[in-house]
Amino acid sequence: MNPVAKLLIFGGAALIVIGILWQVGGRFLPLGRLPGDIVVEKENVKFYFPVVTCIVISIVLSLGMYLFRLFK
């Protein structure tokens, strides 16, 4: 099989698994509603910027990639 096709298949499967975990884990992990996330509400406008959530996700992904490279 073509390597690009394999990459697309595994990438799509990974996105499906991540989406399912996000839905199930969203009930237990308050990602997107952590202290430090910026929310500004005005009359007709709501501005939301998840600063701390982005930092947490970045740390987890960096650690995962480090461990992947370490054991590869």
pTM, two decimals, is 0.62
Domain tally for the chain? 1
Kindly report the CA angle at 35 between 31 and 41, in degrees rounded to 5?
95
Alpha-carbon distance 60 to 70, whole Å? 15
pLDDT per residue over 1-41, tens digit each?
788 999 999 999 999 998 888 888 777 777 778 888 999 99
pLDDT of residue 27: 77
Going along the chain, which residue ranges are E strands? 38-41, 46-49
* 3-class DSSP assignment, residue 45: coil
The CA distance from 52 to 46, in Å, is: 18
Give the residue numbers spanning the domain of 15: 3-71
